[in-house]
Amino acid sequence: MVPTSSTQNRHIPVMLMESLENLKIKKNGIYVDGTLGLGGHSEIILQQIDSGLLIGIDRDKDSISLSKKRLSSNNNFKLFNDSYQNLNIILEELKLEAVDGILLDLGLSSYQLEDNKRGFSHKYESSLDMRFDKNSADNTAEDIIQRNELEELTRIFKEYGEERHAINCKKIKDLKR
């Protein structure tokens, strides 16, 4: 599914006002939205800054293009298709030494969940991709499942999935061909 403006309208940013209140936005401040998504949080930040700057980052190229459209009535923003882990490099590129606030809305957006080709939802029969950056050389979830032994997979589900009952070997085994 190619995300459209209707998918964009459907995504409701979580704790929108609560998180933005805590940023204590100054009109001339520099703010980083490290998980831009469909730009819901960024749109409100932009409404509150005038001479300031918003830096939006997302690993997902589609999110970057949709947000770009959504935010296009402003010009004080810069978007990067990258990981927020590289924020220091991005700030160096922009010749900035500090910012006034950073927002991270971790997780995935509803359009990623509803995209029937990305493997994020059990509602659809699709290959298990689950990469935020689908153009990257990162392993897909399918690769990880096929290449690792059951013990390692159990550890992964337990540690990264915070799944207390990860030792459901049968289910994991069923995923392996």
User: For residue 107, is it left (φ>0), alpha (ψ between -120 and 50) or beta?
Assistant: left
CB of 170 to ligand SAM, least distance (A): 30
CB of 51 to ligand SAM, least distance (A): 23
- Compare residues 108 and 172 and give the one whose CB is closer to ligand SAM: 108
Following DSSP, what letter does each residue of 36-89 receive, concatenated? -TTSHHHHHHHHH-SSSEEEEEES-HHHHHHHHHHTTT--SEEEEES-GGGHHH
**CA separation for the pair 176, 148 (Å, rounded):** 9
Contact residues for ligand SAM (CB under 6 A)? 11, 13, 34-35, 37-41, 57-60, 63, 83-85, 105, 107-109, 132
**CA separation for the pair 46, 48 (Å, rounded):** 5
- Compare residues 53 and 111 and give the one whose CB is closer to ligand SAM: 111
CB of 152 to ligand SAM, least distance (A): 23
- Compare residues 104 and 150 and give the one whose CB is closer to ligand SAM: 104
Q: Which residues pair with 78 in a beta bridge?
A: 55
* Closest residue to ligand SAM, based on beta-carbon distance: 37
**CA separation for the pair 109, 12 (Å, rounded):** 9
CB of 5 to ligand SAM, least distance (A): 13
- Compare residues 107 and 168 and give the one whose CB is closer to ligand SAM: 107
